[in-house]
Amino acid sequence: MKQTIVLIPSLEPDGRLPVYVKELGEYGLSHIVIVDDGSGNDYQDIFKELEEFGCTLLRHRVNRGKGLALKTGYEYIRRNMPGYTCIVTADADGQHAPEDVYRLANAAEGHPDTLILGTRDFKKAGIPVKSFIGNRVSSAIFAALYGRSLPDTQSGLRAFGPKLADRMLGIKGERFEYETQVLITFIRSEIPVLTVPIQTIYEDENRGTHFNAVRDSLKIMGILGADFMKFLSSSITCSFIDIGIAWALLDWLKPYMQGKDLLRIMIATAFARSVSIAVNYLLNKNLVFKSKNAAGHSLIRYLGLCVFNILLSAAGVYILHINLGFNEKMAKVLCDVCLFLLGYQIQQRWVFSRAGDWFHE
């Protein structure tokens, strides 16, 4: 493990942290970088002791958040510790057993282009209620929106190689929500994420954590739902554009197309729909999914999806109405809601796929 670096962000640690560092050394994990995230003078004796153990100590003068503390560590390692094989991030509150850090380091060295995620088992007895609920809810939302089931999206025990470490610096986030944003970015970029079961440790009901159950949970939920809300807003905006243009054209063309109502309606509908589709495509590509793929490539897929939606909606309404006795209007609403949710997944994972984008960022 001579080429493994353990990175530990720390805020107001107690005496467990020096003990933890000693235990890591027993597993050959001696290259340890600790970031003091603005702990204050009362905690400097502990950090001095860690320096005496041979740890590299980095300091924030004020608390800046876990995400920025991790980035400070990544930047220091990139500039000053070349030649390492992997970085393992661990928490300072005793939640990550040294043997699990060792296991993740081994896994990362065998998978240098993969994010190794240590996952806890929240079905075990003794898990604090707020931790159980928070992780179950965030994991369910993550699976629904990003198509990948991860049993522990909040785990801070992670390992990865130098290429992914460089990528970490460009991901947005300053506090606990940063780790969620990392998972979202990697899944959308189709970077492999490998889960490894680890021990579930909560000492003293996890009172040593600096995670704010309300504030930080809301930030994480905001990060999880941000793209979907943009997608929803884009769709609503384009619906208004579609209706507005169609209504305006229907009135404007009326004096010029007396007795040609069908043609007038077809022209207004086709023009309005063309404009709304074009606007929706541009909004989704550039603001919602931020795809860097060539426009022609994604546009063909997007138009194909539009045709697919029309055909599937018509078929669904027909089946629900004729075979199952649904009211036609209610069947239309049900089908279009389902296709809207399906369309989000298809656009994210196929039309505007970001696979390969991360190589160029």
What would the mean pLDDT of 261-272 be, rounded to a whole number? 85
Helix (H, G, I), strand (E, B) or coil at 353: coil
Residue 197 main-chain phi, psi, to 5 deg: -60, 140
Tokens for 43? 């905690």
145-159, 231-245, 286-300: least confident range: 286-300
361 pLDDT tier (thresholds 50, 70, 90): very low
221 pLDDT tier (thresholds 50, 70, 90): confident
Does the structure show a pLDDT above 60 at 321?
yes
Tokens for 50? 């860690």
Helix (H, G, I), strand (E, B) or coil at 57: strand
110 pLDDT tier (thresholds 50, 70, 90): confident
Helix (H, G, I), strand (E, B) or coil at 155: coil
**What is the three-state SS of 289-305?**
CCCCCCHHHHHHHHHHH
Tokens for 307? 């045709």
Name the residue among 229, 247, 336, 240 with its Cα closest to residue 279: 240
Q: Could you say which of 3.40.1280.10, 3.40.50.2000, 3.40.50.1820, 3.90.550.10 is the CATH number of the domain covering 4-213?
A: 3.90.550.10
Neighbours of 46 (CB within 10 A): 20
136 pLDDT tier (thresholds 50, 70, 90): confident
Q: Specify the pLDDT at position 213.
A: 52
Alpha-carbon span 166 to 73, nearest angstrom = 11
Q: Which amino acid is at 200?
A: T
What would the mean pLDDT of 335-351 be, rounded to a whole number? 88
pLDDT in tens, 12-57: 888 889 999 999 989 999 899 999 999 888 889 999 999 888 899 9
Hey, what's the torsion of the CAs at 291, 191, 209, 72, to 10 degrees? -80
Instruction: Show the beta-strand stretches assigned E in 1-111.
Output: 4-10, 31-37, 56-60, 86-89
- Are 332 and 320 within 8 A, CB to CB? no
Q: Which residue has the higher pLDDT, 203 or 114?
A: 114
Does the structure show a pLDDT above 80 at 294?
no
27-41, 198-212, 323-337: least confident range: 198-212
Q: Specify the pLDDT at position 117.
A: 93
- Are 100 and 118 within 8 A, CB to CB? yes
Alpha-carbon span 10 to 14, nearest angstrom = 10
Cα-Cα-Cα-Cα dihedral sign, residues 33, 113, 101, 37: positive
Helix (H, G, I), strand (E, B) or coil at 211: coil
Tokens for 61? 């003068």
Q: Which amino acid is at 302?
A: Y
**Residue whose entry in the numeric block shows the structure tokens 């965030």:** 138
- Are 74 and 165 within 8 A, CB to CB? yes
Alpha-carbon span 81 to 85, nearest angstrom = 11
pLDDT in tens, 229-241: 899 999 999 999 9
Name the residue among 68, 70, 81 with its Cα closest to residue 4: 81
pLDDT in tens, 150-186: 888 888 899 999 888 888 988 888 887 888 889 988 9
Alpha-carbon span 107 to 189, nearest angstrom = 21
What would the mean pLDDT of 205-229 be, rounded to a whole number? 66
Strands 31-37 and 86-89: unpaired
What would the mean pLDDT of 2-16 be, rounded to a whole number? 88
Mean pLDDT (the chain, rounded): 84
Strands 31-37 and 115-119: unpaired
Q: Specify the pLDDT at position 281.
A: 93
Q: Give the H or E element holding residue 167.
A: helix 162-168
**Residue whose entry in the numeric block shows the structure tokens 């380091």:** 105
Helix (H, G, I), strand (E, B) or coil at 31: strand
Hey, what's the torsion of the CAs at 91, 97, 101, 103, to 10 degrees? -150
Alpha-carbon span 38 to 60, nearest angstrom = 5
Does the structure show a pLDDT above 90 at 3?
no
Domain positions in the chain are 4-213, 227-359
**Residue whose entry in the numeric block shows the structure tokens 């970001």:** 354
